Structure 1
């Protein structure tokens, strides 16, 4: 039921009001007060009502935030003293979908252990309704987004208060030299616009009208969906462009020339800055800072972080796993090339608004996002990817792992099978939804990448259960 990003699926098929009601009742078993919010999808109001009914029926008080971004909801759990948060959102999924994601007071999404417990209560019907006179109460909260704006403005206005402290001419307008185009994609990313404006930036918006049909572009922001932003940034003589997905937990960027910044490059820039900030003072025996990244991340990130005096730690794919790693001592940053960025000293939620302001501050200090991008030597890395059809994913992966262990000593199994060599790496992972095994290979030379892919493909072909 719960994937790495909560529950998601087509409304009326996999996601409906009965499911939302049941999830609310199951969450109520461990929470006295819960905040509930939703994104702009039209189906969200019914699902949020059902969640609230399930929570209150079991004696839990509910604070309704209305339509808010997912980062705002995640932060609101702590801000309003709640025990948990429930967001009704399908994030970057298409308009017919919706979903449910659960949050802890730390800003971290529910861990697999926590969602397993919720699912077990649902499966076993291990929930109890409260007596008629002990139902939970519901009240509305209408200032969550404005509180998020105020928090970000305060953070980026105070010396040493932010992940990337800006250095504008005026302490009251630290981003006054910047012009930014923000593509909201008809979603919930307005906090970014208001915070940039409050910090002195000149802000232009694209598709700022909330609309759960996502009529302007697909909800997921990437090089294929952001053509309007790529044209608008140079036309408006802006310094950079920023885009969010439907619930604004993701943030991606475009340079002043309209060039889309690849996710691995943006991850390398954020990770380098976080590692350098730790290593900049003369602190003697300060441990090397760590950065959490998923197993399919490019070598360019590890090489960049190592040059900055830090180390990368690999996690399974999914922001919940990034957050879990980043919560440990010594971690200064975590991110995914898909656009989820986590600064653990700020929050364990992927906060697209915080990422947008962090990038703006970085550009303010270094004058050009394009120059920063050029510093990341992506031409030195070659990536190869293929999908292989199989009949039985689990049996195929077991057989593939057995042969890999005969050939290689060290295999990382945190998410699929990752093998590192002296010159590169390859990863074999089963698809979560299709009868496929996916293989990725990367090296610092084209010939080596081809050889790694061929070697992995040979093992898959020999062991796939058709």
Structure 2
């Protein structure tokens, strides 16, 4: 039921009001008293929010509905309102026909594996602890959540003296970013700022291809920086002052470099570039790798030695602030860095850009083949990680062989410091999968 980031899928198929009601009942049956709910602007959000709230209240849980809000606002509000759980109604960067549910702990961390398993088990068994008629929970609204988030971002930040930022909200829920940046002292211009869950201006997922308006706006003005969110603003991506898109790996390296001291660790998934390792090594810091998915990065970020966690997809976690990926917080930190240290393009010159190769192999037996790949690789290579697919480390690069979570494919990724070596490593990955087929 749960994917790498909550429950998500097409409305009326995978995700229905009936499912939302069941999840509300399941969460409400886990010995909690109060829950916060909120949603992104997708057209189906109100229906699902109502259903989740009904399920929670049926089990005696009091609900605080904060309405339209960014996912990090919802996650942070759990602690702010003394609640036990938070639920975001969102499909994040997915298309408008999708919606979903993300579940949060008071620390801002998403539900971990054991909690997800408990909710799944209760839904599948219809095992709910429904309240009696006089024990039903009540619901009230709170319209101060976004303001509280903006205040928290300003309190955690540093005043900016001279930085002009264009914020592409993508017609999503991330308007808090513009508010916080303005209060920190930035000159702020917004585009696609009116919430609209059909995402008419651009797709919800912010990529180099979808951010043509932002890139052009920054390139043709005196803006120092451009930032963009997905629909629920848990993600943040950036363009430099020339309008050039910044890859997630390089942004991860930049954030990590600013966060670490000697002996610190940065949590990042197995598909993260060597550029992050090479950036941190001279500082006496290192990368600890996780499964793909910000929920797994957040779990690792609970370690005392981890000071920052991130995914190249645009999820950034500063555990001292919150264990939820907080796109608005990332925007503020990036603006502060540019204001203090100079143009983003110049800052990125210190971060290497290595060649990476990708390929997919079709198969109707990906589970069996991945098991065979794992057995062969563990026996044949020394530096092997099997927490998510199979990652083989070499002195000058790495390969990742990983089954697609949604398609009949095995995905191959290879990176090296040299282009020819990257090609060689992709060949190595192909041969490993071919051996498994034999």
What's the TM-score bracket when you normalise by the shorter of the two chains?
Answer: over 0.9
Partner SS, residue 258 of structure 1: coil
Gap runs ≥5 in structure 1: 157-165, 167-173, 280-287
Deviation at 1:383, TM superposition (A): 1.1
Does residue 228 in structure 1 map to residue 217 in structure 2?
A: no
1:402 aligns to 2:375 (yes or no): yes
Q: Secondary structure at the match of 2:41?
A: coil
C-alpha separation in 2, matches of 1:224 and 1:464: 36
Q: Distance in 1 between matches of 2:156 and 2:377?
A: 48
Which residue is 1:41 aligned to?
Answer: 42
Query: Is 1:73 matched up with 2:46?
Result: no
Q: Which residue does the alignment assign to 2:13? A: 13
> Alpha-carbon deviation of 1:397?
0.5
C-alpha separation in 2, matches of 1:459 and 1:363: 44
Shift of 1:375: 1.7
List per-residue Cα deviations over 1:141-163 (Å, max 9, x = no partner).
1100000011111221xxxxxxx
Q: Give the C-alpha shift of residue 447 in structure 1.
A: 2.0
Structure 1 residues 380-430: Cα deviation after superposition (integer angstroms, max 9, x where no partner): x22111100112111010111122123113321110001111221111000
Q: Deviations over 1:5-59 (max 9, x none)?
A: 0100000000000000000000001221000100000100000000000000111
Q: Secondary structure at the match of 1:440?
A: strand
Contact 1:223 1:260 in 2 (8 A): yes
Output the aligned Cα RMSD: 1.0
8 Å contact from structure 1 (residues 220, 245) kept in 2: yes
Select which of 405, 429, 442 maps to 2:402: 429
Any unmatched runs of 5+ in structure 2?
none
Partner of 1:171: none
1:125 CA drift (Å): 1.6
Structure 2 counterpart of 1:196: 181
The equivalent position to 2:230 in structure 1, one of 236, 245, 269, is 245
Runs of 4+ residues deviating >4 angstroms: none
Of residues 306-315 and 444-453 in structure 1, the stretch that sits farther from structure 2 once superposed is 444-453
Q: Deviations over 1:40-81 (max 9, x none)?
A: 001000000000000001111100000000000000000000
Give, in whole Å, the separation in 1 of the partners of 2:77 and 2:125: 31
1:185 maps to 2:170: yes
Q: TM-score of the superposition, structure 2-length normalised?
A: 0.98
Alignment correspondent of 1:330: 305
Task: Decide which of 420, 423, 429 is 1:450's aligned counterpart.
Answer: 423
Give distance in 2, aligned partners of 1:405 and 1:185: 44
Shift, 1:449, TM fit = 1.4
2-structure distance, mates of 1:255, 1:411: 36
Cα separation, 1, equivalents of 2:422 and 2:98? 37
Cα deviation for residue 308 of structure 1 reads 2.0
Corresponding position of 1:270: 255
1:185-222 C-alpha deviation (Å, 9 max, x unpaired): 00011111001111121110100000000000000001
Residue 354 (str. 1) matches residue 329 (str. 2): yes
**Alignment correspondent of 1:125:** 126
Distance of 1:464 and 1:347 partners within structure 2: 44
Q: CA deviation at 1:360?
A: 0.3
CA contact (8 A) 1:176 1:202 kept: no
Counterpart of 1:462 (choices 415, 435, 438) is 435
Residue equivalent to 1:257: 242
Q: How does 1:37-186 map to 2 (within 5 A)?
A: 37-156=38-157, 166=158, 174-186=159-171
- Post-superposition Cα deviations, 1:269-318, rounded to whole Å, max 9, x if no partner, equal 0001111xx34xxxxxxxx0000000000100011011222010000001
Q: Contact conserved, 1:92 with 1:220, CA < 8 A, in 2?
A: yes
Counterpart CA distance in 1 for 2:198 and 2:313 is 22
Q: Which residue of 2 aligns with 1:318?
A: 293
> So what's the TM-score if we normalise by structure 1?
0.92
User: In the alignment, is the contact (CA less than 8 A) between 2:42 and 2:96 conserved in 1?
Assistant: yes
Residues matched between the structures, number: 437
